[in-house]
Structure 1
Amino acid sequence: MKDANKGSAATLDGKGLRIGIVQARFNEDITDALAKACLGELETLGVASEDIDHLDVPGALEVPVALQALAERNRYHALIALGCIIRGETYHFELVANESGAGVSRVALDYRIPVANAILTTENLEQAIARQTDKGRDAARVAVEMARLLGPSGSP
């Protein structure tokens, strides 16, 4: 059974929401495309550009600490993590993917703030390119929907 309160792109309203975005620069062509799609969707959903703070960090492992710094400001309704990790020939892919994902989740749970995780983890560049636009838009929608679900107090 579908919940009538579930947000669709047509019903999500980002007006009045403050959103923080942390973007990893590694694989910058992909993360720039993620950011462009995310920012465009936030605008479509009514989030004012002056209510969006957008930070860059070197890579996916640095994203959680930057999210934590934003969460500690206690001024955002939701946060968004943007990055791209492409499998290589070493264990490094698993380490970065697992640790960045766990760190993003930890920030959300520790600070009781929605964090939309759009750190792509792909086998190759082609997969990353295929996902960059949709996942950027999805992150914006998730952030707005979860911000509205949890409300300003951080609870439903």
Structure 2
Amino acid sequence: MFGAEKGTAARPLDGSRLHIGIVQARFNESITNSLASACKAELAALGVPDNGIVHVLVPGALEVPLALQALAEQDKFDALIALGCIIRGETYHFELVANESGAGVSRVALDYQLPVANAIITTENLDQAIARQTDKGRDAARVAVEMANLLDELA
């Protein structure tokens, strides 16, 4: 490898100078509210100020990418976070929503060169969603802060 290794994993995560946008799907609201609570608590623990967080709600996972795009176009966020919950049903709709929302989230990140932590969880049943809601919310906050700091270093 040439030069020094880039990355923030070895250092404590510092969100004190960051502006983070959160887009939360309301569908499966008990799960997404828990995701959002865990995410916001972790952002606070990482030093992201309350006035550095914008939190918007959309109907479901398919609407998340459009709201992420609208936030990205404001050019004032260091990272975005996508929160949602898709639980498998008896039809193909699960795959459609999971695939399209995931592709849309990734497209926003790449199109705007902006970190987007994807915590739209996809599970087979409600029990799996409940088991993941807190950890995935915290993970999304940590990913957003780490990637925002990394991209700032690489700029």
TM-score, shorter chain, exceeding 0.5: yes
Please state if 1:27 is matched with 2:28: yes
Paired residue for 1:6?
8
Tell me how far apart the structure 1 counterparts of residues 85 and 68 of structure 2 sit (CA, whole Å): 16
SS at match of 2:94: helix
Paired residue for 1:140?
141
Tell me how far apart the structure 2 counterparts of residues 58 and 32 of structure 1 sit (CA, whole Å): 13
SS at match of 1:107: helix
Residues 1-156 of structure 1 aligned to structure 2 (within 5 Å): 5-7=7-9, 11-151=12-152, 155-156=154-155
- How far 1:5 sits from its partner (Å)? 3.7
Tell me how far apart the structure 1 counterparts of residues 47 and 9 of structure 2 sit (CA, whole Å): 14
For the aligned residue pairs, the C-alpha RMSD in angstroms reads 1.4
SS at match of 1:13: coil
Q: Counterpart of 2:117 in structure 1: which amino acid?
A: A
Task: Please report the TM-score for the alignment, with normalisation by the length of structure 1.
Answer: 0.93
Tell me, yes or no, if the aligned pair for 2:8 and 2:149 is still in contact at 8 Å: no
**Structure 1 unmatched runs, 5+:** none
Tell me how far apart the structure 2 counterparts of residues 19 and 98 of structure 1 sit (CA, whole Å): 24
Q: Counterpart of 1:97 in structure 2: which amino acid?
A: A
Tell me how far apart the structure 2 counterparts of residues 95 and 5 of structure 1 sit (CA, whole Å): 34
Name the CA shift for 1:4/1:111 in 2 (closer, same or farther; >3 Å): closer
- How far 1:6 sits from its partner (Å)? 3.4
What is the identity percentage for the equivalent residue pairs of Structure 1 and Structure 2? 73
- How far 1:60 sits from its partner (Å)? 0.0
SS at match of 1:135: helix
Structure 1 stretches of 4+ moved >4 Å: none
Name the CA shift for 1:109/1:62 in 2 (closer, same or farther; >3 Å): same
